[in-house]
Amino acid sequence: MPGQYPVALMVHGRSVPSLPVFKFGADVGPHVRYNWAKYLSKHDVRAFVMDLQGMGLSTRPYEMNDPRNVMVADRSKLVPPVSPTEPYPYPHPLTDTDSELAEVRKVLDWIYDYTGVRKVHLVGYSAASFALGRLAMTNPERVASLFLLAPVFPPYGLSARPIPYPVGYPPMRVVNKQEMITSWNNDAAFGAQRQPGIDDKMWGWTAMWDSTGSHWGNVSRYPNTLRWGWNKAEVQNNQNLGITVPVAIVRGNSDSQIILPTDPTDPNRRLPANFDDPGLTEKAGPPFNAKWLYFAIPGAKKLSITIYNTGHFMPWETQHDVLHTYSAQWIKGGSVDGYSQGMFLRHWSSGQLLPTA
């Protein structure tokens, strides 16, 4: 019956489509335990999974079929490589904040027609926070709650759509196996733990949804999306996050992609020492810091949990089961291990949630 169970919409991040993130391991076999969506469905949550335009099983813009539209910095990954002096045939963003919001709203309309459920729990991984966070800020009547894993949050990102709209913008990026595993190994150096061989399996699941990319040197393509409206200023001034829309943030302490750079010579080290200090000049891109997202959310209905020995690739790491459990608890009851707000650290041995600043 409509409304019998809570409904969740799961959305992927920047470079890995939804099926490898949320349905990894399929429904049977040795890796089925990693299947996040299946776990939710077995625990009385109706889980829907979507791919944004240009990713996974969704339609790819025609311009993505031209390797000259790959960002100059990524062209050396292609086989054969494309000259860095070749201009982009389509020198504009293929997708942006407005297009992503329109896509998610369209899927929510379909879910409503299919289930009769108007308010949906949004589950987002990594860069999905841009679209899902903005949706909760602008359409709180559609959102029951937010559950964000390793959310990308640029405190000094762009507040609004650039005017004029960029020309000469790289429309597409690619990632290859070496790059992805190197990034994962960076997290492993900080303690992230994974099963031997799971990185090969994960890359296979990522690349299998891009047959064109497999002929370009075994890469996976994704739009170089232009995003705005998801920064410290916009979140702080919003009256929905943590007020009408509860927010849960889960991240790993070994995540090297959403932590503040500590090297004083790092050009991305743009955050002032104190969160309340005046902001710096806005720009697209890093630094990214999930902890600052928690501080920026104005309401009290917010929960942040840091899990030891996990990184940015938590869905495929040894503590994926903790992630599954936390998401089901949050969606069904609005709390995790009895807590609905505050900052916590999951003890590496006991599994208890310990309050932290």
**Could you write out the DSSP letters of every residue in 296-328?**
H--SS-EEEEEETT--TTGGGSTTHHHHHHHHH
The answer to whether 195 and 24 are in contact (CB under 8 A) is no
Tally of residues, the chain: 357
Treating both helix axes as pointing N-terminal to C-terminal, what angle do 177-189 and 198-207 enclose, rounded to 10 degrees? 140
With a cut of 60, say whether residue 278 has pLDDT above it: no
With a cut of 60, say whether residue 26 has pLDDT above it: yes
Amino acid at 322: V
With a cut of 90, say whether residue 299 has pLDDT above it: yes
With a cut of 70, say whether residue 72 has pLDDT above it: yes
Among residues of the chain, what percentage have pLDDT more than 90? 84
Average pLDDT over residues 60-73: 97
Average pLDDT over residues 191-209: 95
pTM above 0.85?
yes
Number of H helices, E strands in the chain: 10, 10
* Residue ranges with strand state E in 150-284: 172-176, 219-223, 247-252
Among residues of the chain, what percentage have pLDDT more than 70? 93
The answer to whether 169 and 91 are in contact (CB under 8 A) is yes
Average pLDDT over residues 72-101: 97
With a cut of 80, say whether residue 224 has pLDDT above it: yes
Element (H, E) at 187: helix 177-189
337 confidence band (pLDDT: 50, 70, 90): very high
Question: Which of 103-112, 183-192, 267-276, 281-290 is predicted with the least confidence, judged by mean pLDDT?
Answer: 267-276
Q: What is the mean pLDDT of the chain?
A: 92
